[in-house]
Homo-oligomer: A and B are copies of this chain.
Amino acid sequence: MDRASPRSGVETLRWRDGRLEMIDQRVLPAEVVYRDYATAAGVAEGIRSMVVRGAPAIGCAAAYGVALDALRLAGAPRAQFDGAMQEAFAVLARSRPTAVNLFWALKRMRTVSGAMSPASSASIAERLLAEAHEILAEDIRINRAMGRNGAALLADGMTVLTHCNAGALATAGYGTALGVIRSAIESGKRISVIADETRPFLQGARLTAWELAQDAIPVTLITDNMAGHLMKCGEIQAVVVGTDRVAANGDVANKIGTYMVAVLAHRHAIPFYVACPISTIDPDMPNGDAIPIEERDANEVTGYRGVRWAPEGIKVRNPAFDVTPAELVTALITERGVVASPDQSNIAALLKSAPPVDSA
């Protein structure tokens, strides 16, 4: 049941010998370790504990999680199979609250299994695995289409700031925000990247800096609080970030700190682009105020891995995401094209438009 997919850079997750393998993003770049998963509950824990992170990658992982339980229980009586599938969907849906791709992928898998309900458990399981493979392959095609669309926005010689990791490691491969940068470079432009380290989980320092260095793309690491100073000094010409969920009015949920970058970019008249697969747009969410913001464990803020630097006994806040209002977004970059000054009307039009030929 293996299927090869065109990749760029690192493999974030892959299907091997009937199991899902995911690179452990908690220990990168010090260690490059793949962990393998045989159950939906295991994948859900991998999502929760951030072995895998990044909205599109979480969607792919969840799809494989469903397929894993379906394959495992394909020989069981039908009632037991159906019950187990309900439980698989439920455990995966509980893993993280903010990224909409998780729910989008689960809905897509549920639609597939629902459409096949008279079929045998084994046929359903095989079809679910095929759908997971398709979600992964499609993600890479979408990233490449987004990359082509966004590359036109970056000029030769630009230095581009990015926050968190919206790269190959956040997707099935190639990346959303970093896909735009990769595509601009593939088209012959010289682009340098400034990566915010992205406390508390350090996705910028650990993942973005690492995957760009792997591809020999020039990258400079800064702490999150340096971006404003560098913008003021004229050292940044554009911002490109990813997103975990875009509301119907264009408000953008993304990693904590994105809002701050958007406010600073606005002050300095620097374009602020959001690389956004269509699957990340949530038409049921009227605006960003309604997007649930995950609050994570205090330990992430009081230190890093074995090292604690904050005193004991203090309060901590740890919201994992924030919401950037649409008014601060110069454009959404999608696989169907670039939406400048996103709002309810042009996003609705985008969602109604047919997918272009080149993403098929």
Residue ranges of A at the interface with B (Cβ–Cβ < 8 Å): 29-30, 194, 196-200, 202, 205-206, 209-210, 213, 218-230, 232, 256-257, 259-260, 263-264, 267, 301-302, 304-311, 313-319, 322-323
Contacts and interface: CB of A to CB of B under 8 A. Distances in A.
Nearest to A317: B222
Given A209-B310, A310-B206, A223 B222 contact: no
A223 B205 contact: no
Given A200-B223, A226-B257, A263-B267, 4 more contacts: A194-B317, A197-B301, A221-B315, A222-B318
A226 B309 contact: no
A310 to B, nearest CB: 4
B319 A226 contact: yes
Nearest to A222: B317
Contacts of A302: 205, 221
Contacts of A206: 309-311
A301 B223 contact: yes
Contacts of A305: 307
B259 A232 contact: yes
B256 A317 contact: no
**The 7 residue pairs across chains A and B that have the minimum distance between CB atoms:** A225-B257, A199-B223, A229-B322, A228-B260, A224-B225, A220-B315, A29-B311
Nearest to A262: B228
6 contacts: A199-B225, A209-B311, A213-B313, A228-B260, A260-B260, A263-B267
Contacts of A196: 225
Nearest to A206: B309
A68 B322 CA distance: 52
Contacts of A223: 199-200, 224, 256-257, 301, 318
A221 B310 contact: yes
Nearest to A220: B315
Contact of A317 (B30, B200, B205, B230): B230
A231 to B, nearest CB: 9
Contacts of A318: 222-223, 226
A226 B314 CA distance: 17
A213 to B, nearest CB: 5
A264 B206 CA distance: 27
Contact of A307 (B307, B310, B315): B307
Contacts of A225: 196, 198-199, 224-225, 256-257, 260
Contacts of A224: 199, 223-225, 257
A314 B229 contact: no
A4 to B, nearest CB: 28
A113 to B, nearest CB: 38
A187 B206 CA distance: 46
A161 to B, nearest CB: 12
A321 to B, nearest CB: 8
A30 B310 CA distance: 8
Contacts of A264: 260, 263
Contact of A229 (B198, B219, B319): B319
Contact of A322 (B194, B210, B228, B257): B228
Nearest to A227: B260
Contacts of A314: 209, 213, 219-221
A226 B30 contact: no
